[in-house]
Amino acid sequence: MIYADNAATTQLSKAAFDAMTPWLLDEYGNASQPYAFSRKPKKALTEARATIAKCINAHPDEIFFTSGGTESDNWAIKGAAFTNGQKKATITSMFEHHAVLHSCATIECLGYPVAYLMPTANGVITPKALSGMISNTTHLVSIMFANNEIGSIQPIKELCEIAHAHGALFHTDAVQAIGHVKIDVQELGVDMLSASAHKFNGPKGIGFLYIRKGVEIAPYADGGAQESSRRAGTENIASIVGMATALKENYDAIDDQCINICALEHYLLSSLSNEHISYFRNGGANTLPGLISLSFAGADGEAILHRMDLAGVCISTGSACNSRNTEVSHVLKAINLDENLAKGTIRISLGKNNTMADIDAIVTALIRIVQ
């Protein structure tokens, strides 16, 4: 089996797995308890928080552990809305992940206005578009760091400056990007940032929300005093340690990994071109390393996915049959991709474990299907 769907999830790193096991078996103490048996888990929690904070240039007190990207996004959007301030409006984009879009739909139903920015054909939210929509009633701007379907990286720093100039908070869903490109929250200036461990070779079911010191958002879960009383619930030490280990491992090798994955990406695209396969690459020039959204005119993306699966290759598609029609994804609709291309869109997402031999197999299978 060749796994080329790393944007969906990634393989757990061996180092992360090894770091997790003691906390699942022997050191099972509750980190919130005052006795000696809980001292080690408490220390592990502190160290994991510090490790993650260092990776993104944050302070440890600004890292809040969650169950993953979806919870982080829900908390950022709803928590910002429910602070009971004078300003109630939120701005986001039409091609965010559903964790953001559906959270926005929820607050809209509760009377908080939400406006949706349209990306360019290359999948970019421009500073000009945000400037044209933002006002002094805007409380929160939420724009993803990089799109999960087409990989386009957003001008977060510029967008953030516009938000702050209007007294608004800025949240970015960095789930797809963190651990794959360098992210410095100080340099970007973001107020909140969502992350999920399983996207960067950590375990599933764990993530974090970076909340800049001084930013007021409503707590996500009421209960105990965990996470500074903002997200109650006994800490999942094993997963938190696994997440910190995986993130550090990726950050320590991020430059080399980026070079290797970009080389694989270039090899894949040039191999298709050499075989005279006609395709359209979505996402413009500035995309996440290894995230390749390809459209084949007149093809059926879902059929390509299933035939690649039968050939032993895991990829994703931008269109899926909803029992009656082929439904094009909201991302491809948002970038206004021609329907003939949209229906024939697939996503190949390469990771650090892929090899040149994998690319050869992917290209061979793909050529057989689309030629």
Partner 1 sequence: MMRISCVICGKCDLGKDTIGINKKLLGANIANFYCMDCLAEYLGCTVQELLDKIQEFKDEGCTLFK
Residues that bind partner 1 (CB under 8 A): 300, 302-303, 306-307, 310-311, 321, 323-324
**Would residue 179 be called left, alpha or beta, if left means φ above 0 and alpha means ψ between -120 and 50 degrees?**
left
Q: What angle do CA 119, 165, 111 make, to 5 degrees?
A: 65
Helix locations, 65-199, DSSP H: 69-81, 98-109, 127-133, 156-165, 185-188
Report the alpha-carbon distance of residue 279 to residue 177 in Å, rounded: 25
CA–CA separation, 29 vs 259, rounded Å? 41
321 among known catalytic residues: yes
- Tell me how far, at minimum, the Cβ of 317 lies from partner 1, in Å: 13
Q: Residue 310 Cβ, how far from partner 1 at the closest point, in Å?
A: 4
Minimum distance from CB of 326 to partner 1 (Å)? 8
Nearer to partner 1, 98 or 368 (CB): 368
The residues, ordered by sequence, that sit 6+ positions from 274 with a Cβ below 8 Å of its Cβ are none
Shortest distance, CB of residue 368 to partner 1, whole angstroms?
Answer: 8
Distance CA 271, CA 363 (A): 7
By CB atoms closer than 10 A (0-12, 13-18, 19+), residue 249 is buried
**Cα–Cα distance, 16 to 27 (Å, whole number):** 16
Nearer Cβ to partner 1 (86/322): 322
Handedness of CA 329, 334, 340, 342 (dihedral sign): negative
Rounded least distance, CB 298 to partner 1, Å:
9
Query: Considering beta carbons, is residue 181 or 320 the nearer one to partner 1?
Result: 320
Query: 196: which strand partners?
Result: 207
Residue 84 or 323: the one with the smaller Cβ distance to partner 1 is 323
If the CB atoms of residues 259 and 310 are measured against partner 1, the closer one turns out to be 310
What does R_g of the chain's alpha carbons equal in angstroms? 21
CB of 269 to partner 1, least distance (A): 24
Measured in degrees and rounded to the nearest 5, phi and psi for residue 339 equal -60, -35
* C-alpha dist (Å) from residue 259 to 53, 146, 216, 256: 25, 18, 39, 5
Amino acid at 351: G
* Encoded tokens for 360: 């050869």
Find how far residue 95's CA is from the centre of its chain: 13
3-state DSSP assignment of residue 348: strand
Largest CA distance in the chain: 68
Q: Which is nearer to partner 1, 191 or 302 (CB)?
A: 302
Minimal distance in Å, beta carbon 329 to partner 1?
17
Indicate the residue among 300 and 360 with the shorter CB distance to partner 1. Answer: 300
Q: In sequence order, what are the beta bridge partners of 193?
A: 172, 210
Q: Which residues are catalytic?
A: 321
